[in-house]
Structures are given as C-alpha cells and as structure tokens.
Copies of this chain bind each other. A is one copy, B any other.
Amino acid sequence: MAHKFIGEIGPGESVDDIYMVREPILRSTTRGDLYIAMFLSDRSGQLNGRMWQATEAVYKSLPKPGFVHIQGRSELYQNNLQIIINNISVVDASKVQLEDFLARTDKDTEQMFEEVKGIIGRIKQPQLKSLVGEFLADSELMEKFCNAPGGTKLHHSYLGGLLEHTCSMLRVAVAILPLYPKVQEDLVLAGIFLHDMGKTEELSYDMAFSYTDSGQLIGHIVQTLLMVNQKAEALAVKGTPVDKPILDALGHIILSHHGQYDFGSPKLPATPEAFIVYYIDDLDAKMNQVTAAIDNELSDSNWTAWQNALQTRLYKKRIEEM
C-alpha cells in the first residue's frame, strides 16, 4: 500500500501509516495528565503530533529519532494541522521504504552505474585500470556508491546523488577531453570516478542526511585517499603493485579537487588533470545546485530567495517569457 505523505494529509482525516518521530517530549497538562508531544515527518514535510493519555512507558519506548507506526486523526489547532495519536508502535528501520523518508534521484541508478563502468572502461594504463578494478570488484562498496547522497545540503543531496554527480562529471570529461589533448585521460577518468568515494563513509543516510563521527573527524577527501591506498595495498599483496608516482598523481587529484584551502583541500591543484577535475566537479555541483534552487522556488517572483552559499538570489525568468 502506498505511503500517505505528510504533505497530502488534510484536516479531519484518519491516519494509519509509518512516519519518522523526532524529539518526543513527555509533558503534563495543567490538570496533571501526561501527554507526549513529538514531530512526525517523512520526505514531504513535518507535523506536530500529540498523544494524550500517554504513559511514561510509552514515552520511553519511543526512538529519538526513529520510525513509528501511527494510528490517529488530523485536526486543525490554531490554524495549524496536527495529528492526534491514538496508537503508536515502534517500527524497525529494515521494514521501512527509505525512499518515503529521504529524497532519491529521479534517474535510473542501474543505468547510471552501467554508464560509469562503460566510461572508466576506457582507462588503458594497466595499474590505474587494475586499481579502478579493485573498487568495482568491491560489491559492498559499490552498492553504497550507488545509493549514497552527494551531500547533505547544497547539491545532489538525495539518495543516488553521489552516483548521479559522478556519472555526470564523467560525461563532461568525455565531452571535453578531446579539446584538451595534453591532459591525460586515464588520470582524469580514474580521478573523477574516485574523487568523492569517501562520502560513502563520511555521510550517514539511514534516516536523514547527516555526518558520521568519522566523517566529521577525518572528512571524505582524506577518507577517499585512505581507501585508494588500501586498494593499492591489496593489489601489492596480490603481486601487482601500483607505482608510488602514479598513486601520488592520482592522490593529488583527490586531495586538491576542492580547489581551495578554505574548502578543505590540503593541497592546491598542481597538475593539468587536477585542475580539470576540480573545474568539472565545481561546474557540475553548481549547475545542480542552481537549477534545483530555481525549480524548488514556488513563489511568483522572478527571483529565488537569497542563496547564502552563492551570495546572490537567482533569476528565474527564461528568454521565452521575456
């Protein structure tokens, strides 16, 4: 049965579905009766929930945050919709359709992954080829790579966003590399495929888009480098080591791909390949961010709200409307 989205609930409807619960609080009314206030949400929005005649036992059983099955009814209170809860029971995350709670790319994940594999299949240099092969052969990692978001807020912040961003960057590379023949294709393709791989460890996305402890302490840039070195180590054990200079040239692309110290790159680009990966990454991220901001703006104005990360509002009007 299809999930009933928060954004679709009207006043006076009965509710019987799974939602995410956040910040439940046990309170007492002026008459001394206990009740639980909480937020209920899915990826379409959030409402207040109230469970009157609650007990401390029920309160303690609730995850903070987590998934719950709710039975109750919506009502208007001071012109705001809220849900009056009759029954609440905890639901295991494994029973939940994660897509109901977190946005997911509207593109076909499998197809994009096939395209990625096709493009990096062009790599000819044997050591880079086998290094990339080690990643492809790690099916657990590849599953994360296909499902992780590309970020928590600014761009590609939805399930599958990391893959979508990587795939889009590879397409750009294939399109423009012929125009810059001195740039070494193998390094660029391997660099793009791997550049954000550490986001599979940096980001957590089981209930919301956030950061893991390791992600906050180490960060995806360095986590990616560690993964590359572990795969290279594994190849060395197999008797097919990657030469240090090649590993360093690839590592440099990864470390410098944010292009500036202020954005967390410990090295500035110092090779043509590092420059082109940095520009393709920034271009693709900004095009996603800008078009998403314009698409998500619902007001009649010709301009979006202020975009702090871009230090401007964005103009929405198209030529055909001018």
Q: Which residues 231-284 in A have Cβ within 8 Å of B in the complex?
A: 233, 243-246, 248-249, 251-252, 255, 261-272, 275-276, 279, 282-283
Is the C-beta of A214 less than 8 angstroms from some C-beta in chain B? yes
Known A-B contacts A168-B179, A322-B243; the reply to A217 vs B125 at CB < 8 A is no
Contact B291 A182 (CB under 8 A): yes
- A302: which B residues are within 8 A, CB to CB? 213
A85 to B167, CA, bound (A): 57
Q: State the Cβ distance, A229 to closest chain B Cβ, in Å.
A: 6
Closest-CB distance, A257 to chain B (whole angstroms)? 12
Docked complex Cα distance between A319 and B190 (Å): 13
A317 interface residue (CB < 8 Å to B):
yes
Interface centre among A225, A266, A303 (most CB of B within 10 A): A266
Q: For A251, give its contact among B180, B218, B221, B275 (CB under 8 Å).
A: B218
B245 close to A317 (CB less than 8 A): yes
Question: Does A93 sit at the interface, judged by CB under 8 A?
Answer: no
A75 CB contacts on chain B under 8 angstroms: 30
A155 vs B125: C-alpha distance in the bound complex, in angstroms?
31
Closest-CB distance, A172 to chain B (whole angstroms): 5
Q: Does A312 contact B (CB under 8 A)?
A: yes
Whether A315 lies near B216 (C-beta < 8 A) is yes
The chain B residue with its CB closest to the CB of A225 is: B222
Which of A76, A270, A286 has most B Cβ within 10 Å? A270
Q: Are A279 and B282 in contact (CB under 8 A)?
A: yes
Give residues of chain A (159-208) contacting chain B, Cβ–Cβ below 8 Å: 168, 171-172, 175-176, 179-180, 182-184, 186-187
Judged by a CB distance under 8 angstroms, whether A97 is at the interface is no
Number of copies of this chain that the complex holds = 6
Question: Judging by beta carbons under 8 Å apart, are B319 and A266 in contact?
Answer: no
A302–B28 Cα distance when bound, in Å, is 29
Which residues of the other chain, B, contact A222 by a CB distance below 8 angstroms?
Answer: 222, 225, 251, 255, 266
Q: Are B270 and A276 in contact (CB under 8 A)?
A: no
Known A-B contacts A217-B249, A283-B276; the reply to A319 vs B187 at CB < 8 A is yes
A172 to B178, CA, bound (A): 10
- The residue from B27, B290, B322 contacting A246, defined by CB atoms under 8 A apart: B322
CA distance A312 to B265 in the complex (A): 14
Q: Which residue of chain B is the closest to A174 with respect to CB atoms?
A: B175
A181 to chain B, nearest CB (A): 9
Asked whether any CB of chain B lies closer than 8 Å to the CB of A305, the reply is no
Q: Give bound CA distance, A319 to B272, whole Å.
A: 12
Nearest CB in chain B: distance from A164 CB, A: 12
B248 touches A214 (CB 8 A): yes
| A–B pairs, 7, beta carbons within 8 Å | A171-B179, A184-B318, A213-B302, A222-B225, A246-B322, A252-B315, A271-B315
